[in-house]
Amino acid sequence: MQKRGNTMLNLNSMLKPRKRLKRAISVGLVLSLAGSLAAGCAQLVAQVLLPAPTLDSAHLALGNPSEATAETRNENNYLIVRPQYALSYNRSKNIANWVSWQLDASWLGRLPRSPFMPDPSLPQGWYRVTPNDYTGSGFDRGHLVPAADRNARPEDSQSVFWMTNIFPQSPDNNQGPWEELESYCRTLARQGHTLYIIAGGAGEGGTARNGPRTTIGRAGNPISVPAATWKIAVVLNPGQTLEDIGTDTRVITVIMPNDMGIKDKDWRDYRESVDTIETITGYDFLAVLPDEIEEFLEAKIDSR
């Protein structure tokens, strides 16, 4: 029996995954578009059916799990798409709901870290979290897309230091099993795998050096501290494309408590199913896959 560190979330009592709302669009169309955006005609057809940024971004090739849109009225599920990643921002929480990115060896380099900066792309009038908001909180400025996943080109490196890609992480989570999994994903990328990764926080209330907190930051603009951090990585074998995703495709899913005392834990101790993350977050992951493949992959827990 594996030890799991997430009993706080009472995962064993989770319900069956809810019925999924599928897009009114053919899976074949989405997959062929994700594989090749060259077909201008098909692209035109699909632009009518989906928000344009979804089509333009490899980082959303497996879906937009909260149906985020780039409309300012959608302030707690606000879509930002960059060349380097896509995210759903939550204005009330002052953190992202999720960030999604494709990873292969072409993104990996040796550039030094960039400075943390407020995100200039947030709509005018919205609070822009600053690096100082984390100062003295006891929580790390935790990257969702890791700095080392985007360090081949200067503009890529800066993109992951915008504060919209940062959330409050306990040092033991961030520097322990979370970092170990990030590093393992890069190892797979260097071996020729292509990964589709999505990560975020769930719940509210974590513990760091100064004890438990539900928020950090300044009065008036609190930054939500998640209770747990989750990640889903779909791992394609070298040479495979999205069309090759099947029941034998590896999916690594974890959820870790945002607490102290886990620094020396193995990331493998926190593996769970996508179904569990869907239940906890209410999002629908892998929604562009054929239903039978989606359901199979989402029920499985990685054991490699």
Distance, in Å, from the CA atom of 133 to the CA atom of 2, rounded to the nearest integer, reads 38
Residue among 203, 202, 206, 111 at smallest CA distance from 160: 111
Measured from the CB atom, the residue of 160 and 252 that comes closer to Mn ion is: 252
Distance, in Å, from the CA atom of 163 to the CA atom of 206, rounded to the nearest integer, reads 19
Q: What are phi and psi of 149, to 5 degrees?
A: -85, -10
E strands of 20-138, at which residues? 78-81, 86-90, 95-103
Angle at 99 between CA 169 and CA 115, to 5 degrees: 60
Least distance between Mn ion and beta carbon 298 (Å): 6
Measured from the CB atom, the residue of 242 and 286 that comes closer to Mn ion is: 286
Residue among 27, 35, 85 at smallest CA distance from 59: 85
Q: Is 143 a catalytic residue?
A: yes
Least distance between Mn ion and beta carbon 297 (Å): 9
For Mn ion, the binding residues (CB under 5 A) are 284-286
Residue among 135, 143, 281, 272 at smallest CA distance from 208: 135
Least distance between Mn ion and beta carbon 200 (Å): 15
Measured from the CB atom, the residue of 119 and 284 that comes closer to Mn ion is: 284
CA distances from 144 to 93, 218, 221 (A): 15, 22, 20
Measured from the CB atom, the residue of 129 and 286 that comes closer to Mn ion is: 286
Least distance between Mn ion and beta carbon 214 (Å): 29
Catalytic one of 59, 93, 141, 143: 143
CA 73 to chain centre: 23
Measured from the CB atom, the residue of 155 and 291 that comes closer to Mn ion is: 291
Least distance between Mn ion and beta carbon 64 (Å): 12
Provide long-range contacts, Cβ within 8 A and 24+ apart, for 128-135. 128/163, 129/94, 129/95, 129/163, 129/164, 129/166, 129/217, 129/221, 129/223, 130/163, 131/163, 133/163, 133/216, 133/217, 133/218, 133/221, 133/223, 134/166, 134/168, 134/216, 134/217, 134/223
Least distance between Mn ion and beta carbon 93 (Å): 23
Measured from the CB atom, the residue of 261 and 282 that comes closer to Mn ion is: 282
Active-site amino acid positions: 143
